[in-house]
Structures are given as C-alpha cells and as structure tokens.
Amino acid sequence: MSIILSGDRPTGKLHLGHYVGSLRRRVELQSDRNNQMFIMIADSQALTDNFNDINKVRNNIKEVALDYLSCGLDPNVSTIYIQSLIPELCELTFYYMNLVTVSRLQRNPTVKTEIKLRGFKQSVPVGFFTYPISQAADITAFKAEIVPVGNDQLPMIEQAREIVRSFNTLYDNILVEPTALLPKNEACSRLPGIDGNAKMSKSLGNCIYLSDTPDEISKKIKSMYTDPSHIRVSDPGHLENNTVFTYLDAFCEDKHFASFLPQYNNLDELKQHYQKGGLGDSVVKKFLNEILQQELAPIREKRMEYSKNLDYVFSILKSGSEKAQSIAAQTLDSVKKAMGIKYF
Ligand code: ATP
Ligand code: MG
C-alpha cells in the first residue's frame, strides 16, 4: 500500500498545467485500490500571499473542488479536505520551524522564484517565507510516501525530506520521507503558459482553464506563442520553446492523427514537416484545438452537473476534512511523544 498526498492552492480555477502535472496522475493512482490518497485544498498556504484578498481564496475552494470532481477524483476513494480545518498542521509546522534555518529557506529555489514573481522585494511576509515548512507538515501529517507534483515543487519535497531526517535523527524515527512523483513526460512537468512563459500559473494569468468554454479555448490557442521566426508558411519552423508543440507533447497521441489530421501518422512526422518548412502554425493550432476540445468537453460537462449540487460538494469537503483531521491528530500525538513533550 502507498500513501499518496497532493494539493492545490485555491487561488484560481485549475488549469491544464495542473491537469498534466498532477491531476491526471492522481486519477490514475486512485484506480489502484491499494493506494490511500489524500488531496488537500491548501487555503492556509494560499493566504500567505493573498491575506489581503480573503474572498479570492474562500471562493476558489469551491472551484478547485469542482475541478477535482469533474476530472474524476472520487471522494469515496480519495480523502479531499481543506487545510485550515486541520489545526494540527499548524502545530506540526511550529515544531518543524526549529529544524530549518533562515539561510536554508533563502536558498530554496522555488521560494526565490516565487518571491521575485510576487514582487515582495525586501517585504516578504514571514508566513510566505516559511510555507515550505508548513508544506512539510502537510505531507508528514499523513505519513505520505508519494507526492505527485510538477517540477516546480521538487525543492519543496527536498526541504520536507530534510526536515524528516532532522526530526528522525534528533527525536525518534517516526516520520516518513516523501518522494516526488513527476509526470512521465517532460512537457508535463512544467507546462508553459500560452504566452510562452516558463510556467502556466494562475498568478501569471497565462492559463487555459479546465472550465474554459469551447470558444475561450480556441481563442487562447489562436493567440498562443509559437516560433517568431516562422513568418511565411514555407519558412522552416523551430520546435524549441514553441508552446504549441510543447502542448502537443503533453496531450497528443497517435489516435488523434487518425481522427483529426490523417495525413500524418504521428507527432514525429508533424514535427519533421514543420521543421522542414511548408506547414503553417494555423494547421498545428487547429489540430491542438481539436485535441483539447475533445479532452476538456467531458470535464466541463461533469463540472456543470456538480455545480448544480453545491451542497453535495461542500458535504464532501466537510467529511473529508473530519477524516483527515483525525489522522493528523494521531501523527501530532506521536510527534509530541517522540519529542518528549506529552506532559500528562
Ligand atoms: P499559484 O500561481 O497560486 O502558485 P499554480 O498555478 O502554481 O498557482 P499550485 O496550486 O501552486 O498552482 O500548484 C498545484 C500543483 O500543480 C503542484 O503540484 C504544481 O507542481 C502543479 N503545477 C502547477 N502549475 C503547473 C504547470 N504549469 N505544469 C505542471 N505542473 C504544474
Ligand atoms: Mg504555485
């Protein structure tokens, strides 16, 4: 049996990056009944850089839950819960804070990138700065062994592993070191934004959302960044940093050629033609559009069904949070025992 944990910040609806980076894998892992899966909506973490916009975080809890359910996460198999309903996570974080130095956090590459991205400069909120420690609490509270993530999260998992090792060495060997599970395909590890930016991210506004309408999807694909030197159809095209081809790497299968572009057998043939010249961006974009429309239509339909029954959605979050809380309480109890601070 493996214990698997993953989560998302309720800072917006979920997008294609989440889907290929982690969601699709979670649905796959869920189908193995030997796995025990925890899925957290990280509202407390989202507050660390959105504390001045509580409504954004609050409203997006529902949106993320709808995205989960419409992608096929099954609340009868996976425990879906809200981070702030598990106060034990804060207590664990507080003890783990002693095991991490300020300079180690400053060296964390994800923290560095995100501080820059958010324009904090010298005014980084302490809560934001320390969120990798709370993420270690989120993971270890459930003794999670596997964490399916995109590659922006690797430094976070490494930080969690270090905390576990320090704790186990100092006190008692009770915490489990987590392992990151990256997507099989590199394009999926960090899907770029439609603007060609290195990462599709809610905060950068360069996303195709799972809930976008067919019209929004095709408009966004038409506006996508390709090869700026590919001006005439006859010009040779480049694949490096060509977002449309990166998306094809993430989504395209041979069967899609038979359905939508039968003059080619596979993606390699299409790429070769593009590089040679004589293949227009509009043909490639149209092909990507067909694939994404087909992939996202059933998700959108399910989402519409669930959004008619929000009471049901909230009841899932409530019972998931109760279950998660009782498990985190057991871990906290053994952590305190290991540290020798259970006084009575
Ligand atoms: P924010 O901008 O608020 O940080 P985000 O878009 O980065 O939002 P998160 O909630 O931080 O999304 O990430 C949730 C999960 O999705 C993480 O496992 C992360 O690695 C993965 N993920 C996010 N964006 C991408 C992406 N573009 N490609 C692959 N995986 C991604
Ligand atoms: Mg993020």
Q: Which atom of ligand 1 is nearest to the CA of 23?
A: 16
pLDDT at 138: 98
Query: Do 290 and 172 sit in the same domain of this protein?
Result: no
Task: Determine the Cα angle at 187 with ends 151 and 184, to 5°.
Answer: 70
Query: Do 70 and 218 sit in the same domain of this protein?
Result: no
Classify residue 247: in a domain, yes or no.
Answer: yes
Give the SS3 label for residue 148: strand
* Structure token pair of residue 278: 């004589």
The CB density around residue 61, as the number of other CB atoms within 10 Å, is 20
Which residue has its alpha carbon closest to ligand 1 atom 14? 8
Per-residue confidence band for 306, with pLDDT thresholds at 50, 70 and 90: very high
Q: Which atom of ligand 1 is nearest to the CA of 8?
A: 10
pLDDT at 198: 83
Query: Do 125 and 16 sit in the same domain of this protein?
Result: yes
Q: Report how many domains make up the chain.
A: 2
Ligand 1 center from residue 11 Cα (angstroms): 10
CATH code, 327: 3.40.50.620
191: Cβ–Cβ under 8 A, 6 or more apart, which residues? 16, 17, 20, 21, 150, 199, 200, 246, 247, 250
Classify residue 200: in a domain, yes or no.
Answer: no
Query: Do 181 and 327 sit in the same domain of this protein?
Result: yes
Query: Do 125 and 260 sit in the same domain of this protein?
Result: no
209 beta partners:
15
Which ligand sits closest to the CA of 247?
1
Classify residue 209: in a domain, yes or no.
Answer: no
CA 311, CA 118: separation in Å to the nearest integer? Answer: 35
Task: Give me the domain span that covers residue 114.
Answer: 2-190+310-339
Q: How does DSSP assign 151-214, residue by residue?
A: GGGHHHHHHHHHHHHHHHHHT-S-----EEE--SSHHHHTPPPTTS-SS--GGGT---BTT--H
Ligand 2 center from residue 103 Cα (angstroms): 22
- pLDDT, one tens digit per residue, over 48-86 is 999 999 999 999 999 999 999 999 999 999 999 999 999
CA 13, CA 299: separation in Å to the nearest integer? Answer: 13
Out of 152, 185, 200, 247, give the residue to mutate to test ligand 1, the one with the largest number of ligand atoms within 8 Å of its CB: 152
Lowest mean pLDDT among 127-136, 182-191, 318-327: 182-191
Classify residue 201: in a domain, yes or no.
Answer: no
Query: Do 138 and 239 sit in the same domain of this protein?
Result: no
Out of 5, 6, 8, give the residue to mutate to test ligand 1, the one with the largest number of ligand atoms within 8 Å of its CB: 8
Query: Do 9 and 152 sit in the same domain of this protein?
Result: yes
Classify residue 82: in a domain, yes or no.
Answer: yes
Classify residue 86: in a domain, yes or no.
Answer: yes
pLDDT at 255: 96
Query: Do 183 and 225 sit in the same domain of this protein?
Result: no
Ligand 1 pocket, CB under 6 A: 8-9, 11, 17-18, 21-22, 149-150, 152-153, 190-191, 199-203
Cβ 10 vs Cβ 57: under 8 Å: yes
Please give the mean pLDDT across all residues of the chain.
Answer: 96
Ligand 1 center from residue 283 Cα (angstroms): 29
Arithmetic mean of pLDDT, 81-94? 98
Which residue has its alpha carbon closest to ligand 1 atom 25? 17
Classify residue 255: in a domain, yes or no.
Answer: yes
Which ligand sits closest to the CA of 7?
1
CATH code, 289: 1.10.240.10
Arithmetic mean of pLDDT, 300-315? 98
pTM score of the predicted model: 0.95
Residues in the chain, total: 344
CA 283, CA 230: separation in Å to the nearest integer? Answer: 13
Give 65's DSSP letter.
H
Query: Do 52 and 185 sit in the same domain of this protein?
Result: yes
Ligand 2 center from residue 202 Cα (angstroms): 8
Which ligand sits closest to the CA of 67?
1
Cβ 153 vs Cβ 77: under 8 Å: no
Query: Do 237 and 255 sit in the same domain of this protein?
Result: yes
On the question of pLDDT at 144 being above 90, the answer is: yes
Which ligand sits closest to the CA of 18?
1
24: Cβ–Cβ under 8 A, 6 or more apart, which residues? 71, 183, 188
pLDDT at 261: 96
* Structure token pair of residue 144: 């999670």
What does each C-alpha distance from 329 to 227, 286, 315 come to in angstroms?
53, 51, 21
- pLDDT, one tens digit per residue, over 164-211 is 999 999 999 999 999 999 998 889 999 999 999 889 998 788 999 999
Which residue has its alpha carbon closest to ligand 1 atom 17? 149
Query: Do 219 and 242 sit in the same domain of this protein?
Result: yes
Which ligand sits closest to the CA of 21?
1
Query: Do 281 and 328 sit in the same domain of this protein?
Result: no
What H or E segment, with its residue span, contains residue 68? Answer: helix 54-71
Arithmetic mean of pLDDT, 128-134? 97
CA 153 to chain centre: 9
Considering only residues 202 and 296, tell me which one the structure prediction assigns the higher pLDDT. Answer: 296
Per-residue confidence band for 45, with pLDDT thresholds at 50, 70 and 90: very high
Classify residue 207: in a domain, yes or no.
Answer: no
